[in-house]
A and B are shown apart, each in its own frame.
Chain A
């Protein structure tokens, strides 16, 4: 099984900050890497698919990059509605493993 490791587990940031979250796969997954946002009490929502493609309706301040084993999710200017938990997930193979999550909190 492919293991997904996210860092950091949590971070504190202010509105307007640039935020970067990293995700590492235990083996090469090409660009089969997706990012999700989950707010408290809500289902996860797909933000970015195929490592760098923005899902329809997602603001352009979100971006993704990487390939192989190392990936990043960036938020260029953090907005109040972006405070949430973010998960990476690989769709290269079954099982569809998720990272442990990164909670973005208000500083």
Chain B
């Protein structure tokens, strides 16, 4: 079964750090680009970060640039998002999603990040 499973979310104080993980199974993870997409409570989808299959190309949204770092370990079929200097506005459900020019066809169920004192 094709699957993405996120983990690592939780409650963190403003200025704190968190590392999200996404475990992939059921497809050839190493040949696909991946994304992190987030959704603040009651809001729409916001693309956050992109990484190519070989990690040679990385992009971050302006809203997280300089604070978040996307990475991957193809040997472990895993995607990561290191989040530093967290702010209240980073509170959201974070989804990992398999990328493609024909859409993001596989999504995880999401992991919730809450930034609050």
Q: Return the chain A residue nearest B100 by Cβ.
A: A91
Give the interface SS of chain B, mostly helix, strand, loop or mixed: loop
Q: Return the chain A residue nearest B101 by Cβ.
A: A91
Q: Which residues of B contact A45 (CB under 8 A)?
A: 107
- Identify which of residues 71-117 in chain B touch chain A, using a CB-to-CB cut-off of 8 Å: 95, 99-105, 107-110
Q: Assess whether A98 is in contact with B100, with CB atoms less than 8 Å apart.
A: no
Q: How far apart sit A85 and B45, CA to CA, in the bound complex (Å)?
A: 11
Tell me if A100 counts as interface (CB < 8 A to partner B). yes
Q: How far apart sit A89 and B100, CA to CA, in the bound complex (Å)?
A: 12
With A43-B95, A43-B110, A91-B100 already in contact, the answer to whether A98 and B44 are too (CB < 8 A) is yes
Tell me if A83 counts as interface (CB < 8 A to partner B). no
Looking at A14-22, A46-54, A71-79, the stretch in contact with chain B turns out to be: A46-54
- Identify which of residues 50-79 in chain B touch chain A, using a CB-to-CB cut-off of 8 Å: 50, 57, 59, 61
- Identify which of residues 24-48 in chain A touch chain B, using a CB-to-CB cut-off of 8 Å: 32, 34, 36, 38, 42-46, 48
A: interface residue count bin? 20 to 34
Which of A38, A49, A85, A97 contacts B103, CB < 8 Å? A49
Q: Which residues of A contact B100 (CB under 8 A)?
A: 49, 91
Q: Which residues of B contact A99 (CB under 8 A)?
A: 44
Q: Assess whether A98 is in contact with B46, with CB atoms less than 8 Å apart.
A: yes
Q: Assess whether A94 is in contact with B104, with CB atoms less than 8 Å apart.
A: no
Q: Assess whether B47 is in contact with A97, with CB atoms less than 8 Å apart.
A: yes
Q: Assess whether B44 is in contact with A46, with CB atoms less than 8 Å apart.
A: no
With A34-B103, A89-B103 already in contact, the answer to whether A98 and B45 are too (CB < 8 A) is yes
Q: Interface of A with B (CB < 8 Å)?
A: 32, 34, 36, 38, 42-46, 48-50, 53, 55, 85, 87, 89, 91-92, 94-101
Q: List 19 A-B contacts (CB under 8 A).
A: A36-B104, A38-B45, A43-B107, A43-B110, A44-B107, A45-B107, A46-B104, A46-B105, A49-B100, A55-B103, A55-B105, A87-B44, A87-B45, A89-B45, A91-B101, A95-B61, A96-B99, A97-B47, A101-B45
State the 5 A-B residue pairs at the shortest beta-carbon distance, nearest first.
Answer: A34-B103, A49-B103, A49-B102, A43-B107, A101-B44
